[in-house]
Amino acid sequence: MSTVSLHNIKKIYPNTEKRRKKPGRKGSEGQTGSANLQITDDGVVAVQQFSLDVADKEFVVLVGPSGCGKSTTLRMIAGLEDITDGELYIDGKLVNDVAPKDRDIAMVFQNYALYPHMTVYDNMAFALKMRKTPKDQIEKKVHDAAEVLGITEYLDRLPKALSGGQRQRVAIGRAIVRDPKVFLMDEPLSNLDAKLRNQMRAELIKLRQRVNGTFIYVTHDQTEAMTLGDRIVVMKDGFIQQIGTPQEVFNHPSNIFVAGFIGVPQMNFFDARLELGQDGSYHIELDGASLPIAADKQVRLHANKAESQDITLGVRPENIKLVDDGSQGVRGTIDVTEMMGAAIHIHIQSCGRDIIAVVPFAEVQSKMGDTLKAGHQVTFAFGADDVHLFGRQSQKNLEY
């Protein structure tokens, strides 16, 4: 078994010198707030109220923007950062005060962290040699890992003779040979170009099928999160925003931040109003039009006792459909078009916002021909089941 449990983990980086309090947005007593930091008298709060149970052999991805606390959380699991408060268990054992070398974890860093004077073989074998593992076992483990990763032919080379992708494979191989309980990966693909990232993502998917172990993976790239993770943990400002499978997080975002962060291009947002009619059904008022809401959404809104209120309406770009000018819909003006191969990303100025529609190229050609130009007036619509409803004040999903 290789389980990891974090119970209400908190990390504060203490003040190293006395600082004079400056005027700011007041939070609770003795603390101020900034754009993405909580600053208390004790120091900067990087992570707080973080609770997560990672199952045996599960692949969990921590994802969020820079500075959200995901790498700090990973380093606390590794033992490279002290835990200010809370409890960390690996296989049911409390490890808050256990040294990193005794936690039976392996970490893959963003910058590879290879020994430049050692060959690939010696880099991969180093930890095993330090454990005084028999030479024949070292030989087998290194060659088995090298074969899995396709780097057997590079075992005699120095890291400087390898490409970025090859170096990252060596770093991963160094982790594999240790056969740890938990693999920790801190943005391991961020230094690679787009083609190599795609290739290495596929390699990691195949790798986790061949390697026994639990994976906790940190990235700011939502594509990596969606393709690699059994579950995703979306973070912002040190707090967990949502935990769920990639499909759950994509289809049912818990708040506006998650909705805007997960999905490429990001979700479109409109200022709208949710109205509860006398017949007991909900509808949306947007840009002078009354829009229906799907039956399943009606049930969830009633279950949550949603009241008539101003809302932020979310619609994903792929659900925006161009319709004939005479059809009912929302009008706007084309601002920019981006040709993306099989589809065109159309930026439309509407309702005071930049709205993006992802439309198949063939559909654009059949409906609009050569009129797809900046300044052209268009009408668009979306289905009753394609909308996401967020409270204007709470920013939370009104259905969940």
Residues 114 and 204 both lie in one domain? yes
Q: Which residues pair with 181 in a beta bridge?
A: none
pLDDT at 367: 65
Which CATH number belongs to the domain containing residue 154 in this structure?
3.40.50.300
Full residue range of the structural domain in which residue 285 is found: 267-391
Domain C-terminal end among 206, 221, 251: 251
Q: How far is CA 267 from the centre of its chain?
A: 15
pLDDT at 275: 96
Residue 339 within a domain: yes
Residue 397 within a domain: no
Residue 185 within a domain: yes
Cis peptide before 265 (omega within 30 of 0): yes
Number of domains comprising the chain: 2
Residues 223 and 274 both lie in one domain? no
Residue 256 within a domain: no
- Is the entire prediction scored with pTM above 0.75? yes
Which CATH number belongs to the domain containing residue 329 in this structure?
2.40.50.100
Mean pLDDT of successive 10-residue stretches along the chain, which has 400 residues? 93 72 43 54 89 96 95 96 97 95 91 91 94 93 90 94 90 91 92 84 86 92 93 97 97 97 95 94 91 95 96 96 79 92 92 93 71 84 94 95
C-alpha–C-alpha distance, residues 390 and 400, integer Å: 10
Residues 241 and 320 both lie in one domain? no
Domain C-terminal end among 201, 223, 251: 251
Q: Decide if 178 contacts 123 (C-beta within 8 A).
A: no
pLDDT at 17: 57
Residue 52 within a domain: yes
